[in-house]
Chain A
Amino acid sequence: MKKRIIFLILAVAALLAFVWMLNYRVISNKNGEKLSVVATLFPYYDFAKIVGGDKAEVSLLLPPGIEAHSFEPKPSDIFKINSADIFVYTGDFMEPWAKDILIGINNKKLSVVKAGDVVSLLNGSDEGLGSGADPHIWLDLLNSENIVDGILTAFVKKDPQNSDFYIQNAHNLKNELKDLDNSFKAGLSNCQTKTLIYGGHYAFGYLVKRYGLNYLAAQGFAPDSEPTARDLANLINELKKNNVGYVFYEELSSPKIAETISEETGAKLLLLNTAEKITKEDLNNNVSFIDIIKEDLVNLKTGLGCQ
């Protein structure tokens, strides 16, 4: 009898899920007037939204909490790209699945912005992390300005009539990025330590290079690599040496490694957001890339003991 009740509850739950799904499926796809833009990662999505203003319909391809490397596009995603005007992604080293889609679709009007092509890339071997380019290009704010330019070029090409509007928006955004870059330079100039200890994957290579910091991360470029005991012991020793007492952790991922370091040293945890992924709440609340990076600066100043 008990088992039957449990099965009944499960069946009802499954039915509810199905009904909910039906409601959710109906996505309107009629914005004849507006430019339709698809961006893979949050920074590109945010930049395109700001440049396009109310003249573009921008959608974020990767759902919150999904890794760019391991993402598997759904049929509706491919459909979305197929009917889009502009597609923004990093490059084959970050979104290896994008190449196959772009070959497979039949969309003659699609303008592709490859952000990795418009910035100066850092090479993994220079950072002591094996071969291949470091994909977290937007964390160098100068790169981000270039990405904005790349997106702007595509907008102007697709919709020349409104080019002044786009150019103005991009100009404002680039000024904001420039201001932010200056506050990073000023804010990080006088710190107790220059070593950033990170209990996540190696994402801040661009940022630390730009502001002359040292960087120790528990993992490599990809979040699924496992740190060894020696890696962790090195991080802990480094943290004990500099006496500021903070360890940074990654957004939307289990902070287990950072917690281990913290339990060992008594260091406090601070969030350092790569802006690669974003929570559903933040997405719905229109949190911008600049908001996230500003938050990072505040935490960096605390964590490195800056004046």
Chain B
Amino acid sequence: MDILEIIQFAFVQKAFIAGSFVALLCSVLGLFLVLQRLSLIGDGLAHVSFGAIAMGLFFGLYPIYFAIPVVILASVFILKLVKKGRFSGDAAIGIVSSAGIAGGVILASLSNGFNVDLFSYLFGNILAISSAEMYFSIFLSVVVLAVIYLFYYDLFSITFNEDYAKTTGIKTERINSLLVVLTAITVVLAVKVVGVMLVSSLLILPAVTALQLKRSFKATIFISAVFAVFSVIIGIILSIILNIPAGASIVMCNFFVFILAFLLRNRS
């Protein structure tokens, strides 16, 4: 089968569409997170959602509805550790995510096993996206991007100088909470659509790549989004040509784009 034939399959087209929107969403959100030194929050919150899903199953509740509030609480807790407790971002994320995964393991064992394979429900695969999930990822992207657009100047100001932002009357605490809550929702829901590896890499790589180019902040957001979407499309095409898993192929594309940008920066 040649590539043109494979691209005509609906599941491949859904991967292009949903993948591009998730990339857009994560790359914009990721830029603020990277600059706030919270790059690994995606990974950390995915671990917490494992614990939360286990908790939901343990109490017999529908796990994903239970996971969203718990992961939001965890993300706010990470923020508190950083801002109030003066822990560094990586330590704060480490504290919360290790407790999350350990809690999940204990609950899974206490309930003497669940009726389902937890991981298979928790983590999606970009090639197995239902139509509903595709529309949902478009919806989520629009909501998150709209919130970022509305609060753009507040977010921008806090990201670069929080103390100054405070003196200009911005409610820094609220805006920071908004950022991590959006991240928490994205992690729980986008991970279910495209998988944890893709979400956490799309939160970090396009942002750091765009930052290598040292443009204005608005331009950096734009470049980050372009790189992310480009990597998804090229990554899927390459995965078809080389017959390799699509998620990993997208991550490697992002990585190579980053290396290129890094070399370019060092040369100039």
A134 to chain B, nearest CB (A): 20
Q: Report the bound CA distance from A252 to B113 in whole Å.
A: 11
User: Is B9 a contact partner of A236 (Cβ separation < 8 A)?
Assistant: yes
Does any Cβ of B come within 8 Å of A164's Cβ?
no
Whether A226 and B1, one on each chain, are in contact in the complex, defined by CB atoms closer than 8 angstroms, is no
Q: In the complex, what distance in Å separates the CA atom of A21 from the CA atom of B103?
A: 13
B117 touches A254 (CB 8 A): yes
Using known A-B contacts A226-B247, A233-B6, A253-B120, determine if residue A263 contacts B115 with beta carbons closer than 8 Å: no
The 8 Å CB contact of B239, one of A13, A229, A279, is: A229
Question: Among the listed B11, B58, B118, B243, which residue makes an inter-chain contact with A260, where contact means beta carbons less than 8 Å apart?
Answer: B11
Please give me the residue from chain B that is nearest to A77 by CB atom: B109
Contact B73 A17 (CB under 8 A): no
**Contact call B117/A223, Cβ cutoff below 8 A:** yes
Kindly list chain A residues whose C-beta atoms are within 8 Å of the C-beta of B88. Answer: none
> In the complex, are the beta carbons of A229 and B129 less than 8 A apart?
no
Q: Judge if B144 is at the interface, Cβ distance under 8 Å.
A: no
Which A residues are CB-close (under 8 A) to B239? 228-229
B140 on the interface (CB 8 Å rule)? Answer: no
B91-116, CB < 8 A from A: 107-110, 112-116
Decide: A229 and B107 in contact? CB cutoff 8 A. Answer: no
Q: Would you list which residues of chain B between 56 and 82 have a CB under 8 Å from chain A?
A: 58-59, 73
> Which of A253, A254, A277 has its CB near the most chain B CB atoms (within 10 A)?
A254
Q: Name B246's contact: one of A65, A228, A236, A260 (CB within 8 Å).
A: A228
Closest Cβ neighbor of A234 among chain B residues = B1
Smallest beta-carbon distance B117→chain A, Å: 5
Q: How far is the CA of A224 from the CA of B236 in the complex (A)?
A: 20
Q: Does B130 contact A (CB under 8 A)?
A: yes
Task: Please report which residues of chain A, range 226-277, place their CB below 8 angstroms from some CB of chain B when the two chains form the complex.
Answer: 226-234, 236-237, 252-254, 256-257, 259-260, 263-264, 277
Q: How far is the CA of A229 from the CA of B242 in the complex (A)?
A: 10
Find A256's partner among B5, B114, B124 (CB 8 Å cutoff): B124
Closest to B122 in A: A254
Do residues A63 and B112 form an inter-chain contact, with CB atoms below 8 A?
Answer: yes
- Cα A278 to Cα B107 in complex, Å, equals 19
Question: Are A259 and B128 within 8 A (Cβ)?
Answer: yes
- Among residues of A, the one whose C-beta sits closest to the C-beta of B248 is A226
**A6 with B73: CB separation less than 8 A:** yes
In this assembly, does A99 line the interface, its C-beta being within 8 Å of a C-beta of chain B?
no
Q: How far is the CA of A20 from the CA of B55 in the complex (A)?
A: 13
Say whether, besides A230-B243, A254-B120, A66 and B59 are in contact (CB < 8 Å): no
Minimum C-beta distance from A274 to chain B (A) = 12
Contact flag A253-B128 (CB < 8 Å), given A13-B59, A228-B245, A260-B11: no
Residues from chain B with a CB closer than 8 A to the CB of A230 are 1, 6, 240, 243
A281 at the interface (CB under 8 A from B): yes
> A232's contact among B11, B115, B117, B131, by CB below 8 Å, is which?
B11
B1 — which chain A residues lie within 8 A by C-beta? Answer: 230, 233-234, 237
A49-75 interface (Cβ within 8 A of B): 62-67, 74
Whether a CB of chain A sits under 8 angstroms from the CB of B12 is yes
Contact between A227 and B115 (Cβ–Cβ < 8 Å)?
no
Nearest Cβ on chain B to A209's Cβ, whole angstroms: 26
Which residues in B have their C-beta under 8 angstroms from that of A64? 112-115
A227: chain B residues at CB < 8 Å are 125, 127, 245
Q: How far is the CA of A162 from the CA of B72 in the complex (A)?
A: 60
Kindly state whether residue B139 has any CB partner on chain A within 8 Å. no
Name the B residues within 8 Å of A259 (CB-CB): 128, 130
Q: Which residues of B contact A228 (CB under 8 A)?
A: 127, 239-240, 243-246
Within the complex, the shortest CB–CB distance from B116 to chain A, in Å, comes to 5
A79 at the interface (CB under 8 A from B): no
Q: Are A65 and B128 in contact (CB under 8 A)?
A: no
- Which A residues lie within 8 Å of B260 (CB)? none
C-alpha gap A257/B15 in the complex (Å): 13
Chain A residues with CB under 8 A of B130: 256, 259-260, 263
CB atoms of A232 and B127 under 8 A apart: yes
**A160–chain B nearest beta-carbon distance, Å:** 34
Q: Which residues of B contact A24 (CB under 8 A)?
A: 110, 112
17 A-B pairs with CB atoms under 8 Å apart are A17-B58, A24-B110, A63-B109, A226-B247, A226-B248, A228-B127, A229-B9, A229-B12, A230-B243, A232-B11, A236-B9, A256-B124, A257-B125, A263-B130, A264-B9, A277-B117, A280-B115
* B interface with A by C-beta (< 8 Å): 1, 5-6, 9-12, 15, 58-59, 73, 107-110, 112-121, 124-125, 127-131, 236, 239-240, 243-248
**10 closest A-B pairs (Cβ-Cβ)?**
A63-B113, A64-B113, A226-B245, A254-B120, A256-B128, A260-B128, A65-B114, A279-B115, A253-B117, A253-B120
